[in-house]
Amino acid sequence: MQGPVIDWVADHRRHHAFSDKEGDPHSPWLFGTGPGALARGFLHAHTGWLFVVWSVATLVVPTVLGGLLTWSLWGGFTALFWAGLVRVALLHHVTWSISSICHMIGDQPFAAGDHSRNVWPLAILSFGESWHNLHHADPICARHGVRRGQVDISARVIRVFEKLGWAHSVRWPTARRLEKLARPS
């Protein structure tokens, strides 16, 4: 739904280079700070920035395949429902919430220079990506949930890959680095 991986990486790098400023492909602050501007910005950050062709294709392809594989309209509808709508609702909306919600509400324990925030209710669903403030303060750090009780499943997977020799030169947070990045009280 978000297009080819190379395009996603380019958008993600632009997002970090211009976070919450002109040039950020999915900032909720793009249209201003008033209630109407923030509502429009939220919709843009959540799904409005997506490439429309991929959005349509990710729903049409499963529908067509389901219909062809079962030779029935019901097979097409079932595929649309499960492989399209349910997948988008469960997977993609969590991902998009990082771009929208995690740049609007939540706490900011680290000085990131933008509106990135931590939203704990999304932590398990996003595998720890909702500890978004540290991701912006230290984008090459492998772990985002660094405080006690902050679940970060992605960091655990990276640690396993590192132990298996599948990942190397992984940058883990240190107390000194976190102290340096902490927002002044």
Digitized pLDDT (tens) for each residue of the chain, 185 residues in all: 667 889 888 988 988 899 888 888 888 888 888 999 989 888 888 877 766 877 788 889 999 999 999 999 999 999 999 998 888 888 788 888 998 999 999 999 999 989 999 999 999 999 999 999 999 999 999 999 999 999 999 999 999 999 999 999 999 999 999 999 998 87
How many residues belong to the chain? 185
The answer on 89 and 6 residing in a single domain is yes
The answer on 136 and 160 residing in a single domain is yes
The number of domains in the chain is 2
Tokens describing residue 13: 């790098």
- Which residues span the domain enclosing 9? 1-104
Task: Output the CA torsion sign for 173, 182, 14, 100.
Answer: positive
The dihedral region occupied by 176, where left means phi > 0, alpha psi between -120 and 50, and beta the remainder, is: alpha
Q: Record the pTM.
A: 0.72
Tokens describing residue 177: 């680095």
The answer on 66 and 155 residing in a single domain is no
Tokens 């999915």 correspond to what residue? 26
The answer on 136 and 76 residing in a single domain is no
Domain boundary among 60, 82, 104: 104
The answer on 97 and 26 residing in a single domain is yes
The count of other CB atoms within 10 Å of the CB of residue 134 is: 25
Per-residue pLDDT at 11: 86
The answer on 99 and 171 residing in a single domain is no
Per-residue pLDDT at 1: 67
C-alpha distances out from residue 102 to 46, 76, 94, 137, Å:
10, 35, 11, 14
Tokens describing residue 127: 């595998």
Tokens describing residue 94: 């969590």
Domain boundary among 43, 70, 104: 104
The answer on 165 and 114 residing in a single domain is yes
Domain boundary among 83, 104, 125: 104
Tokens describing residue 84: 């399209």
The answer on 70 and 116 residing in a single domain is no
